[in-house]
Amino acid sequence: MEYPTTLLEAVKFFSNEETCIEYLASVRWPSGAVCPTCGRFDVSYLKSQKRFQCKSLHAKRQFSVKVGTIFEDSALGLDKWLPAVWMIVNSKHGVSSYEIARTLGVTQKTAWFMDHRIRVAMAYGGFNKLDDPVEADETYIGGKTTDDKGRFSNKSAVVGVVEKKKD
């Protein structure tokens, strides 16, 4: 599979959904697809549904190539995500969300969301979500309350999540 070298080639290359799925699957699973639930390697591809299916009988036995990645919770297709990744990765000085919006035909708000997710993934070192154990804690910040609306009525919730790397 030849990787595109220009933006025009990238948009053409990633315009076909099957090509996007095949490309992302080859990047994620170089030695074949793996079930994210049980870890089995003998999964089959259901071409009509554009999903993979695990041979084990368990909940969530069907999964897409987007499961467990930054693309998972997005309604946008890979035909928008992958050219945006190409634009950001191949730009020397960065790409604004306005430029992504104009190029891909999405709203600026959507382009901003995509831009930030991709940049976080680049800082993290991959497009997978958190794999290692995480620690989370929360607190409420604000002054004392004098009214009867409840003890947290004028406080802001702050949540922190840290991934513990396996060494």
Q: Cα dist. 8→12, 28, 87 in Å? A: 6, 24, 11
Tens digit of each residue's pLDDT (9 = 90 or more) over 44-71: 888 888 889 888 887 778 888 888 888 8
Contact at 8 Å (CB) between 53 and 43?
yes
Across the chain, what does the average pLDDT equal? Answer: 83
- Answer yes or no: are the C-beta atoms of 52 and 45 closer than 8 Å: yes
Domain locations along the chain: 7-30+68-124, 134-163
What pLDDT score does 145 carry?
A: 65
Predicted TM-score (pTM) of the model is: 0.69
Distances (CA, A) of 1 to 12, 26, 45, 62: 14, 10, 19, 26
Asked if residue 93 lies in contact with residue 102, where contact means CB atoms within 8 angstroms, the answer is: no
Interval 71-95 mean pLDDT: 90
Cα 37 from Cα 58, distance rounded (Å): 8
* 133-166 pLDDT tens trace: 667 777 878 766 666 666 666 777 787 777 666 6
* Model confidence at 89: pLDDT above 80: yes
Q: Given pLDDT bands bounded at 50, 70 and 90, which one contains residue 126? A: low
Q: What is the pLDDT of residue 79?
A: 92
Rounded average pLDDT over 122-140: 70
Confidence (pLDDT) at 151: 65
